[in-house]
Amino acid sequence: MKIIDSHCHYNLEPLYSGRKENEENLQASETTWSSHWQRAQEMGVCGSLIVGTNLHTSQLALEIAATEPQLLAAVGIHPSEAVSLLDQWGEADAGGQLNQQLETLSKMSEQASAIGEMGLDYYWLTDSEAKAQAIELQKQLFIGQIRVAAAKSLPVSIHVRDREVPEIPTPNNAYWDALAIIKSELTADLPVIFHCISGPLNYIKEINTLGGYIGVAANVTYPNAETIRTAVAAASPEHILLETDAPYLPPQGYRGKTCEPWMVAETATYLKQEMRLKPEQLLENTIRLFPQFNSGASLL
Ligand SMILES: [Zn+2]
């Protein structure tokens, strides 16, 4: 089985250096990103898109990708960074800081294969005044990054999360706000990947209609993930991609542990056995979006 992981974070801890977040002084670990990549290859992984979450981790993604032709980098700023900017700079200055970051990101995109992850995440927003400010800034950050991607003709990797999953378009809901932004900003040739798909079924149907790609992670294997399985069953098989989102979201048998990049093989097996999705089809879909994966090694 040949697998390409379309969304993975070798650039985040504990995968990158083996340290846990905030454990700067620990001795360097034996288990660094390259040993995870080695292990993943032994399980059939022959390529991976390493996805940035802020300027620092995007830079790390570029550095890792530069060492190995089968590793590609996406540079992007996660929506939660908008909340950090507000906390750090206040409402008056956060927008200016955000624009500076977008400028830097645009320069970094010269070496990238995709832009992301970007999107909207209202999951942790509760206080109503702070929520309104954060939503506004998240939208600004999202739109800014779609425009960087459109200018460079690079695919976008989108993260969307919210507590509510309403089946009808609802204002101030991350799923429906994201869809509205995509519809207004989408240009003819801009491939969009909705990574780690979740959300109401009607929203997912709209993504299908728009020709968006759906990234399926190991949470499809969870017993209560009926909505995700229904969404995957409803999606066109030509628009489904496989991903780990490692170090997050381990498959059912490994819950509570760090998700390691090799575990994408578990998800591939599940999709083949339980959902009749052929690994060859998923591989072909990823190479259609990222032909670079097939130029270093002949995978098809
Ligand atoms: Zn991610």
pLDDT value of position 44? 96
User: How far, in Å, from the CA of 277 to the mean position of ligand 1?
Assistant: 23
DSSP state of 280: H
User: How far, in Å, from the CA of 247 to the mean position of ligand 1?
Assistant: 9
User: How far, in Å, from the CA of 165 to the mean position of ligand 1?
Assistant: 20
User: How far, in Å, from the CA of 241 to the mean position of ligand 1?
Assistant: 14
pLDDT tens per residue, range 111-144: 999 999 999 999 999 877 789 999 999 999 999 9
User: How far, in Å, from the CA of 236 to the mean position of ligand 1?
Assistant: 23
pLDDT confidence bin for 175, thresholds 50/70/90:
very high
Total-model pTM: 0.94
pLDDT tens per residue, range 27-75: 556 689 999 999 999 999 999 999 999 999 999 999 999 999 999 999 9
User: How far, in Å, from the CA of 198 to the mean position of ligand 1?
Assistant: 13
pLDDT tens per residue, range 205-246: 999 999 999 999 999 999 999 989 998 998 999 999 999 999
pLDDT value of position 237? 94
User: How far, in Å, from the CA of 9 to the mean position of ligand 1?
Assistant: 7
pLDDT tens per residue, range 73-121: 999 999 999 999 999 999 889 999 999 999 999 999 999 999 999 999 9
Find the mean pLDDT for residues 141-168: 96
Q: How far is residue 229's CA from residue 141's CA, in Å, rounded to a whole number?
A: 30
Residue 21 in this model has a pLDDT that exceeds 60:
no
Q: How far is residue 81's CA from residue 138's CA, in Å, rounded to a whole number?
A: 8
Residue 202 in this model has a pLDDT that exceeds 80:
yes
pLDDT value of position 27? 58
User: How far, in Å, from the CA of 52 to the mean position of ligand 1?
Assistant: 8
pLDDT value of position 126? 83
Alpha-helical (H) ranges within the chain are 33-42, 55-65, 80-108, 128-152, 174-185, 201-210, 226-234, 264-275, 279-289, 292-296
Q: Are 6 and 193 in contact (CB under 8 A)?
A: yes
Q: How far is residue 277's CA from residue 293's CA, in Å, rounded to a whole number?
A: 21
Residues 6+ apart with CB under 8 A from 242: 3, 4, 5, 6, 215, 216, 264, 267, 268, 271, 279, 282, 286
Q: How far is residue 108's CA from residue 152's CA, in Å, rounded to a whole number?
A: 11
User: How far, in Å, from the CA of 53 to the mean position of ligand 1?
Assistant: 7
Q: How far is residue 69's CA from residue 120's CA, in Å, rounded to a whole number?
A: 31
Place of tokens 């993504």: 207
Cis before 200? omega within 30 = no
User: How far, in Å, from the CA of 75 to the mean position of ligand 1?
Assistant: 11
Q: How far is residue 68's CA from residue 47's CA, in Å, rounded to a whole number?
A: 10
> 197, 87, 181: which is closest to 140 by C-alpha?
181
pLDDT value of position 187? 81
pLDDT confidence bin for 20, thresholds 50/70/90:
low
Residues 6+ apart with CB under 8 A from 96: 89
User: How far, in Å, from the CA of 201 to the mean position of ligand 1?
Assistant: 21
User: How far, in Å, from the CA of 224 to the mean position of ligand 1?
Assistant: 21
User: How far, in Å, from the CA of 217 to the mean position of ligand 1?
Assistant: 10
Q: Are 12 and 247 in contact (CB under 8 A)?
A: yes
Residue 201 in this model has a pLDDT that exceeds 80:
yes
User: How far, in Å, from the CA of 117 to the mean position of ligand 1?
Assistant: 6
pLDDT confidence bin for 22, thresholds 50/70/90:
low
User: How far, in Å, from the CA of 169 to the mean position of ligand 1?
Assistant: 25
Place of tokens 């996660």: 78
Domain 3-20+29-278 has CATH 3.20.20.140: yes
DSSP state of 113: S
pLDDT value of position 26? 55
